[in-house]
Structure 1
Amino acid sequence: MITLINNPVQLKRELLKVVQKELKDEELKVAKSDWHSRRKPIGCGLTIHPGIGCPMQCSYCYIYDMGFSVHATPYSLSGLQLVAALLFNKYFYPTRWGTYLAFGSVTEPFLPNILPKTLEYLKAIVEYLGNPCQVSTKMVINDENVDKLARVGGSKLSILVTVTSLSQYVYLERRAPHPLKRLELVSKLRRKGFKPFIFIRPLLPGLRAEEVDEIVEQAKASGAYGIVVGNLRLSPNIVKRLISEGIDVTKYLRVDLGKLKSGFVDVRVDGDTQTLIRERALSKGLIFLRRACCANTVSQLLSGYNDVACPSLCFLNEKVCEKSCPSQCKVKAGGEPKQFNFHEVIREVLGFDEYEVEVEGHTMYIKLKKPLRDEKSASFALSYLFRRRIRFIYE
């Protein structure tokens, strides 16, 4: 990777020049028109699709309502084309201080026919971009593939192994590997130097205290570093499927079925269930987190990168940021950014020198003497790179 780390905006431009020389015109055209070149990051990062579709058909899964198939197909882009698509994306920036990348979303990244593409993409990202990557999975892979994963992703690759239930998995995830087999994968990953977390996503309402205890016990025994809880995404079809499997979410959650008719609603199961999981996890010496991006950040931290902080600014929300999290992003993200020359980055993003900056706590106030062509994109880029709120003031 080109070593212009102190300026990820300039690095992005230089990397694109390199990639454009290595790809044919038609390959570049396909990469530039791909969704990876336009997609905006969400809480966990910018989603990377090594495939589309999934045969597991978990009862709570949302991808089938989005039109995806029960047949998984490897994604068409090559690893280098994916790199190009990301570099064409105005919301993407390279380096470990750039955009978090999350593998999964609309497929299972470790399915036998998808895993080669996942490995190809990870290798290309590590070689050219250096962004923090995260994979969420229910699959079980053998030692040989764990070794391949370690070679291409390195120990700082964040891996979330999904376990939603130990008693009802046969109804919820009947085509997925047994949860105890997934926990065996956690042990393999730990032995190879990874920092695996158990991912309780979705956190289903009505999870009994006894089952919480068992999940936490198994997580500890497997060698997981911690537990992450995640949202439940609902649609009319998902509600019906869950009810048919004996989980009537409407008994536990205030669900506006009228809103569901027009799309998805993300529901966070707060209150007693989440509090119980937190208490049990911390009592066993496990890390407890409420966001997938936090696990990615902690994986970087545990790999020796002590200055990392979540780019989504989740640490500014007390309901989301876990006080016991070892990263302590809120402390690290105060004052002037120190990870690179922030004036160089501001000039690159704004496109001019006529500005003044004041930093107060976690907010950067940027005074401008002329309007920006794309204020939203500039604000997003600076906020993401600096891990600060951005406020433009026109004089």
Structure 2
Amino acid sequence: MDLIRYLEFKEKLRDRLEDELSPESIERARRDPHARRYPRPCGMTIHTGIGCSYSCTYCYIYDMEFPHRARPYPLNGKELLYALTLNPYVVLGPGGTMLAMGSVTEPFLPETRERALEYIETLGSIGNPLQVSSKSVLSDGDIARIKEHAPHISFLETVVCIRDCRRIEPLAPDPMDRLMFAGRLARAGVNVSLFIRPIIPGITDRDAREILSTARELGIKSVVLGTLRVTASIYKRLRSIGIDLSDRLPSSRLSREQVPIRARDLKDRIVAIAREMGFRVYESACGANIEAAGLGCYACKWGPCGDVSRLPNVDARHVNEFIKYLGYSGRVEQLSNYRIVTRLDKGDSRRVEALLRELLRREVIIKGHSAPRCVGAGMCRDFD
């Protein structure tokens, strides 16, 4: 596997964009967090907007002081792509860093829809594994646009309840409309998964069979589940609408930080129903992204994901040349089907860890005096 060509592709793309963008656009992109944020093992979050008007009671973004009214992200598509070419931890191109949209906003609100579609077009053109999570309902024209520019996109459509929707998600589209939309995505050939996240005790588990049964009838074949995480504020909001979590998380553990409730039993129950109905159940959201992109991955504890026979073939010599090309000093000590151990004598160990993990789709361990704590085996964002 020619690892160096990914760096060369990124450099050429950056040079081209510098010729096309104005000095103001270049400076705006340089200052943006996308140009420096460190991706997790499950990928890089792409912000299409800031804030969300759906006002879901379980949403964490309001505790992060994001507003209840959305605005599109300030970078246009080319500016965003340029910011990513500046990020030393991101691999661009087919099989590169996984990209995921839908974190601090709903991507397809009226205020953010066009920006999200622009990002899908721009990022779809470079071939990185791309995923979007949403509660919105789009037109057939929008579906065609997504399919044309990002044919391998992984689309997660969220449905967590039916009967209590207006209590839980007061301003989001009706869950049945979302399921119908997901069915239209499936019929159009888009890789769509049902996103049952978060699992709300007494609400989601009660409606799960109906949600899954309807999804199956509409042609949806896969599902991702995620646990509810709460802060003191979310805990209080849920309690105000009659959802008591005291038996699953003592209130004494709550703060401004998100804490997962104890819900393994609920998740296992829904997984069993889904498998009984013939659904493909992904252990994490990024697993759906990997499979939609036709890749394999064994970089974290949730793996293996996708077809592991598709893990890139590489030998130690190529990795050593890659480290040298970066201007660093180091060597491979161990390389197996699912792990690479590298000693780094000089260089940015976090950069080497991120780039090798994203290129090789294996657990990466960096040794040396500047080595970071290994994150490859344990951390993974599964949208919960």
Amino acid at match of 1:232: L
In structure 2, the residue matched to 1:157 is 153
Runs ≥4 residues deviating over 6 A:
none
CA contact (8 A) 2:41 2:357 kept: no
Deviations 1:146-201 (A, max 9, x none): 222222222x1110000001122121012111100001101110111102111011
In structure 1, the residue matched to 2:164 is 168
In structure 2, the residue matched to 1:345 is 322
Distance 2:142 2:267 in 1: 34
TM-score, normalisation: structure 1: 0.85
Q: Which shows bigger deviation, 238-247 or 261-270?
A: 261-270
In structure 1, the residue matched to 2:263 is 269
Q: CA deviation at 1:235?
A: 0.8
Distance 1:194 1:208 in 2: 26
Distance 2:144 2:310 in 1: 34
SS for the counterpart of 1:391 is strand
CA contact (8 A) 2:99 2:129 kept: yes
Amino acid at match of 1:355: R
> Judging changes above 3 Å, is the alpha-carbon distance between structure 1 residues 259 and 218 closer, same or farther for their aligned structure 2 residues?
same
Number of equivalences: 367
> Judging changes above 3 Å, is the alpha-carbon distance between structure 1 residues 215 and 7 closer, same or farther for their aligned structure 2 residues?
same
In structure 2, the residue matched to 1:385 is 359
CA contact (8 A) 1:19 1:80 kept: yes
Distance 2:167 2:121 in 1: 36
Distance 1:9 1:268 in 2: 43
> Judging changes above 3 Å, is the alpha-carbon distance between structure 1 residues 321 and 207 closer, same or farther for their aligned structure 2 residues?
farther
> Judging changes above 3 Å, is the alpha-carbon distance between structure 1 residues 282 and 25 closer, same or farther for their aligned structure 2 residues?
same
Q: CA deviation at 1:342?
A: 4.3
SS for the counterpart of 1:249 is coil
Identity percentage of aligned residues: 33
Deviations 1:263-295 (A, max 9, x none): 222446312x22221221112221011211011
> Judging changes above 3 Å, is the alpha-carbon distance between structure 1 residues 150 and 5 closer, same or farther for their aligned structure 2 residues?
farther
Amino acid at match of 1:337: V
1:282-297 aligned within 5 A: 282-297=275-290
CA contact (8 A) 2:160 2:204 kept: no
Indicate which of 227, 231, 242 corresponds to 1:231: 227
CA contact (8 A) 1:39 1:89 kept: yes
Distance 1:118 1:250 in 2: 38
Distance 1:22 1:231 in 2: 44
Amino acid at match of 1:365: V
> Judging changes above 3 Å, is the alpha-carbon distance between structure 1 residues 208 and 390 closer, same or farther for their aligned structure 2 residues?
closer
Unpaired stretches in structure 1, ≥5 consecutive residues: none
Amino acid at match of 1:97: G
> Judging changes above 3 Å, is the alpha-carbon distance between structure 1 residues 259 and 20 closer, same or farther for their aligned structure 2 residues?
farther
SS for the counterpart of 1:121 is helix
> Judging changes above 3 Å, is the alpha-carbon distance between structure 1 residues 78 and 210 closer, same or farther for their aligned structure 2 residues?
closer
Distance 1:268 1:6 in 2: 44
SS for the counterpart of 1:7 is helix
CA contact (8 A) 1:37 1:86 kept: yes
Distance 1:174 1:73 in 2: 20
Distance 1:20 1:95 in 2: 18
Distance 2:328 2:135 in 1: 48
> Judging changes above 3 Å, is the alpha-carbon distance between structure 1 residues 310 and 206 closer, same or farther for their aligned structure 2 residues?
farther
1:179-328 aligned within 5 A: 179-207=175-203, 210-251=206-247, 253-255=248-250, 257-267=251-261, 269-271=263-265, 273-300=266-293, 305=294, 308-310=295-297, 313-314=299-300, 317=301, 320-321=302-303, 327-328=306-307
Distance 1:321 1:285 in 2: 20
Q: Which shows bigger deviation, 375-384 or 197-206?
A: 375-384
> Judging changes above 3 Å, is the alpha-carbon distance between structure 1 residues 266 and 42 closer, same or farther for their aligned structure 2 residues?
farther
> Judging changes above 3 Å, is the alpha-carbon distance between structure 1 residues 75 and 55 closer, same or farther for their aligned structure 2 residues?
same
In structure 2, the residue matched to 1:80 is 78
Unpaired stretches in structure 2, ≥5 consecutive residues: 370-384
Distance 1:344 1:333 in 2: 20
SS for the counterpart of 1:230 is strand
CA contact (8 A) 1:183 1:218 kept: yes
Amino acid at match of 2:324: R
Q: CA deviation at 1:219?
A: 1.5
Indicate which of 125, 130, 153 corresponds to 2:127: 130
Distance 2:356 2:115 in 1: 32
Distance 1:228 1:264 in 2: 20
Q: CA deviation at 1:375?
A: 1.5
SS for the counterpart of 1:97 is coil
Distance 1:107 1:222 in 2: 27
Amino acid at match of 1:363: R
In structure 1, the residue matched to 2:375 is none
Amino acid at match of 1:379: E
CA contact (8 A) 2:14 2:85 kept: yes
Indicate which of 5, 14, 26 corresponds to 1:28: 26
Distance 1:159 1:268 in 2: 27
